[in-house]
């Protein structure tokens, strides 16, 4: 049954991609197609990266209403953008070599994840403490960011602001190849770890009893999550609830928490929601509103729904 639904999801993702490419195709077809293909590749990458990173993060933390943004990674990203503008000025920021900037961002975000994880490894802190540390870091970076926002020129502030909100219309296609390499490598690792992830979901004691070295595996997985988050944030900007929405949907659709099914299901759901939604907004609704806003709105509702349902149990 789960396999059939997975095939269904695959078809839906293909249909969404085809619609995205084909609808309203006119003028210089080769040129438009090339443009759309690039954008499609970016959207697919972002959808899959966020979906898979959220599923892994939820498994590792044993909590189905968390998303990686709780670790303060998005906040650090935004703070980094603000700091760059502050130090280099708006013009300097815009003329930075995008590949170099992107590479540094990924490394920096993974570095922060390491900084949060190493104490956990050394003293075997529990997951709750680490998440709290992440929340506190997030607040710190957000506060620093708003402090800098007050210090800079209003014109330059506009430059940062455009980088601070998820924007699926203006995807950074110039980063695509580099991002694709990171995403594909991360996805291969995640897929190979699917059985280990199943065991991790049993909790630390049971997993260790079954021969999984907990601290090392969890650290590796969280680094993987931060690499995926870094990629998607750099491509489209921070999203909070998209991952939650997709992971919850995927789990309902395949009705399983086994990662051999759930990981592909979440990735495909991510593609359907993102590419399908973008097609809908571009052609049916004439770009009346931003997809990012709607996804965050629906994701937020799902979050509340999960909270209410969870508390009733």
Partner 1 sequence: MIRIENVSFKHRATPILSDISLDIPKGGVVALIGPNGAGKSTLLSLVARLQPLQAGVISVDGLPVDTTPSRDLAKVLAILRQDTTIASRLRVRELVGFGRFPHGRGRLTQEDDAIVDAAVAQFDLTDLSDRFIETLSGGQRQRALVAMAFAQDTDYLLLDEPLNNLDMYYARALMRSLRSVADANGKTVVIVLHDINQASAHADRIVAMKSGRIIADGTPGEILTPDMLDTVFGFRMRVETIEGKPFALHQL
Q: Which is nearer to partner 1, 44 or 262 (CB)?
A: 262
257 contacts partner 1 (rule: CB under 8 A):
yes
Q: Which is nearer to partner 1, 199 or 268 (CB)?
A: 199
290 contacts partner 1 (rule: CB under 8 A):
no
Q: Which is nearer to partner 1, 247 or 291 (CB)?
A: 247
27 contacts partner 1 (rule: CB under 8 A):
no
210 contacts partner 1 (rule: CB under 8 A):
yes
Among 201, 223, 290, 306, binds partner 1 (CB under 8 A): 201
At 199, list the tokens: 């065991």
Q: State the virtual CA torsion across 42, 46, 47, 52 in degrees, nearest 10.
A: 140
x/- map, 100-139, partner 1, by CB under 8 A: ------------------------x---------------
88 contacts partner 1 (rule: CB under 8 A):
no
Residues 280 and 290: their CA atoms lie apart, in Å, by 11
Among 95, 213, 287, 289, binds partner 1 (CB under 8 A): 213
How many CB atoms lie under 10 A from the CB of residue 172?
Answer: 16
Residues 226 and 73: their CA atoms lie apart, in Å, by 7
Q: Which is nearer to partner 1, 3 or 97 (CB)?
A: 3
Among 150, 205, 309, 311, binds partner 1 (CB under 8 A): 205
**Minimum distance from residue 3 beta carbon to partner 1 (Å):** 16
Per-residue DSSP letters for 58-112?
Answer: HHHHT-TT--GGGGTHHHHHHHHHHHHHHHHHHHHHHTS-HHHHHHHHHHHHHHH
User: 290: which DSSP letter?
Assistant: -
Among 211, 284, 288, 312, binds partner 1 (CB under 8 A): 211
Residues 236, 169 contacting (CB under 8 angstroms) = no
How many residues comprise the chain? 313
188 contacts partner 1 (rule: CB under 8 A):
no
Identify which of 8, 40, 42, 4 has the alpha carbon closest to the alpha carbon of residue 25. Answer: 40
x/- map, 62-81, partner 1, by CB under 8 A: x-------------------
Q: Compute CA distances 123 → 131, 220, 311, whole Å.
A: 15, 17, 32
Segment lying near partner 1 (by CB under 8 A), choices 33-41, 229-237, 250-258, 289-297: 250-258
Residues 275, 43 contacting (CB under 8 angstroms) = yes
**Minimum distance from residue 205 beta carbon to partner 1 (Å):** 5
Q: Which residues bind partner 1 (CB under 8 A)?
A: 62, 124, 194-196, 198-199, 201-206, 208-213, 251, 256-258
């Amino acid at each position: 049954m789960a396999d059939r639904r997975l095939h269904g999801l695959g078809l839906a993702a293909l249909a969404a991609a085809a619609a995205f490419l084909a609808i309203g195709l006119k003028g210089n077809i080769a040129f438009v197609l090339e443009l759309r293909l690039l954008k499609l590749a970016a959207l697919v990458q972002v959808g899959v990266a966020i979906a898979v990173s959220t599923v892994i993060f939820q498994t590792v933390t044993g909590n189905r209403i968390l998303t990686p943004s709780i670790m303060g990674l998005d906040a650090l990203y935004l703070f980094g953008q603000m700091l760059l503008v502050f130090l280099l000025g708006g013009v300097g920021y815009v003329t930075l070599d995008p590949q170099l900037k992107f590479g540094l961002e990924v490394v920096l975000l993974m570095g922060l994840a390491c900084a949060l994880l190493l104490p956990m490894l050394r003293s075997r802190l529990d997951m709750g403490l680490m998440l709290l540390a992440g929340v506190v870091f997030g607040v710190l970076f957000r506060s620093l960011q708003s402090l800098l926002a007050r210090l800079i020129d209003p014109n330059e502030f506009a430059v940062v602001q455009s980088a601070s909100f998820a924007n699926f219309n203006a995807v950074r296609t110039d980063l695509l190849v580099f991002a694709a390499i990171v995403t594909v490598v991360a996805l291969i690792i995640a897929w190979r770890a699917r059985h280990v992830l199943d065991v991790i979901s049993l909790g630390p004691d049971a997993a260790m009893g079954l021969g999984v070295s907990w601290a090392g595996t969890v650290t590796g997985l969280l680094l993987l999550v931060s690499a995926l988050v870094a990629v998607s944030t750099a491509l489209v900007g921070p999203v909070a609830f998209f991952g939650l929405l997709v992971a919850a949907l995927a789990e309902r659709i395949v009705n399983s928490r086994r990662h051999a099914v759930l990981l592909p299901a979440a990735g495909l759901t991510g593609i359907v929601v993102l590419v399908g939604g973008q097609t809908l907004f571009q052609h049916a609704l004439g770009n009346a509103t931003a997809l990012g806003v709607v996804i965050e709105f629906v994701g937020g509702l799902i979050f509340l729904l999960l909270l209410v349902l969870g508390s009733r149990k």
